[in-house]
Amino acid sequence: MPVYLNQDDALALWREALAACVRGDGPDLSSRQMSILLTVYTLTPPHTVRGLSDSLNISKPAVSRALDRLVQLGFVRRRRDDYDRRSIDVQRTVMGAIFLSQFADQVSEAGRELESPTPFEAGTPPESAPADTDY
């Protein structure tokens, strides 16, 4: 079921979720690290450095650097592929699942705190913003 947010609500939701994340005791992840973590946990495995690089359209060295941090935090683990020793599988961990579960709760809470009713609540898709809107 689609959720329709206007730009202000979408940014407020993202800001509140990120603010809750950085206020907490958990680590601060870069956008790249969070994107890789979400990809590993929300898309069907197997995941490889090459596959993550292709799906996110970022370089393999950038994926490897982000994975270094995620492995250090215990959110993912690397495992050499038994059939292709050149390939590295990226696997989920319990710590990573707990971190993302808590982050999902923070996003949900931020969504409940939006002050303006969203078009989704009214059951209608958002209308296009007028082109001559002053900001």
- Look at residue 130 and tell me whether its pLDDT is greater than 70: no
Two tokens, residue 46: 């197997």
pLDDT digits (tens, 9 = 90+) for 44-65: 999 999 999 999 999 999 999 9
* pTM metric for this prediction: 0.79
Residue 28 lies in a domain: yes
Q: What is the arithmetic mean of pLDDT over 28-50? A: 94
Query: 54 is in which domain, residue-wise?
Result: 7-115
SS3 for 66-131 is HHHHHHHHCCEEEEECCCCCCCEEEEECHHHHHHHHHHHHHHHHHHHCCCCCCHHHHCCCCCCCCC
Q: Considering its fold, how many domains does the chain have in total?
A: 1
Task: Give the list of residues 6+ apart from residue 38 with CB closer than 8 angstroms, or none.
Answer: 100
Residue 120 lies in a domain: no
Task: Identify the pLDDT of residue 117.
Answer: 57
Residue 44 CB neighbours (<10 A): 5
* Domain at 36, CATH number: 1.10.10.10
Residue 84 lies in a domain: yes
Residue 71 lies in a domain: yes
